[in-house]
Amino acid sequence: MSAIEEEHVPQSSIPEDLQQRYSNWKKNTRLLYDYLNTNSKKWPSLTCQFFHDLDTTSDTHRILLSAFTSSQLPEDEAIYIAKLSTLKHLEWASINNFDMDEMEFKPENNIKLPSKNLTNDISIRFPDGDCNIARYLPQNPDVIAGASSHGSIYIFDRTKHGSLRMRQSKNLKPYEAALYCPPKGIENVENTNEATSISWNLQREGLLASCYSSGQIQLWDLKKYSNSKLEMDTPLLNVDFDALGVNDVNWHPSHDSILAASGESNIIGLFDNRLGTEILRSNEKMHNGGINSCKFNSHCDSLLISGDSEGRINLWDLRKLDGEPIKTLHHGSSISTLEWNPNLETIVASAGQDDGLVKLWDVSTDELVFTHGGHMLGVNDISWNLHDTWLMCSVSNDNSVQVWKPAHNLVEQV
């Protein structure tokens, strides 16, 4: 099934060749996708993450998003949870449901359908700066962390926010906790030392890693947080890693103490929280332009992938991180982020920071499996869905939030 919503995107700042590429893409969407839903928001989102839960009665998925105003309108800065049904709960395979005019299956007229559009469920105003990335606590999805462009990490409890809560309580706190520890020896760092990425530990509840544009990696233990004080200024660990800036951190999915980080100096560092220090480092010659993303493979403990600003994607064996990568792929332009498919161990997605493309790769064959061309500007973040193998969300600087699934005949051989 293909569910397509008309998208209205301001085109004044979009190059003509990208507008033409988008027009060509749109003409072919019925052939390219089993499902496609495009939404244009007031502000772009810098982050997206599918929640792990699913309402099976209406096939409704929840997605964590943000509103990025670049400080133009601070009162609009927010993180929010949106809902969307992909309508998989409906029966389509009947000749009675086939529309001859549009040449596609449709449900009976008497069936009440969920909204085709992405609908906002709850919005939480972001207290200070822009939200660079937001991630929910895997052990308790009601707890959400947001990394601020002003350096703080804000912790929110979803159940204590929203319009109804705001009306019921005049003393509602803007957040549940704020984590901030300025770098040593740097004065007036506020508003310049951005929190660039965060990662929750999958094995130890409440253990959060964060990284910063001034080069630090910090670990925070929320179990040491006291309700009597909103701010936490003492991290569990504070390490100077890359003086040019750290772009990404990622916990090992099956180890509670191993952490990877990547930075502007084209290096990947492997850290052991038990030792409080770096244990292995990659060769800086293996990347160029700064490494924007590094991600562990949840199916294979020894695999790590990294992507840089020149579009190079390296696949690493952790045991040989200081050597050469297993293999290299090329996205074609700067990569904003990478994400392994949680259901297919060899499939990874790369998001284009400049070209606006999301590419799906099979690292076992080096094959480019699928290219999503629905965005006209750079892609900020991507997220795979846990319940639907090929379903993905992507967000872009063109204000679009898109949920899509490649046509099964294009990817079924994988």
Give residue limits of the domains in the chain: 16-411
Q: Which amino acid is at 71?
A: S
Measured distance CA(145)–CA(154) in Å, rounded: 6
Please give the helix or strand (H or E) that residue 112 lies within, else none: none
* Residue ranges in the chain modelled with pLDDT below 70: 1-12, 88-100, 102-114, 163-172, 183-191, 414
Measured distance CA(184)–CA(133) in Å, rounded: 24
What pLDDT score does 339 carry? 98
Closest CA to 152 of 79, 232, 207: 232
CATH of segment(s) 16-411: 2.130.10.10
What pLDDT score does 167 carry? 45
Closest CA to 140 of 85, 83, 195, 204: 204
Measured distance CA(387)–CA(298) in Å, rounded: 16
What pLDDT score does 91 carry? 55
What pLDDT score does 115 carry? 73
**Pair 395, 351: CB distance under 8 Å:** no
What pLDDT score does 185 carry? 55
What pLDDT score does 13 carry? 72
> C-alpha distances in angstroms, 379 versus 13, 238, 354, 357, 361?
16, 31, 7, 7, 17
Helix (H, G, I), strand (E, B) or coil at 18: helix
Pairing of strands 177-179, 231-232: parallel
What pLDDT score does 227 carry? 73
**Pair 98, 71: CB distance under 8 Å:** no
What pLDDT score does 189 carry? 47
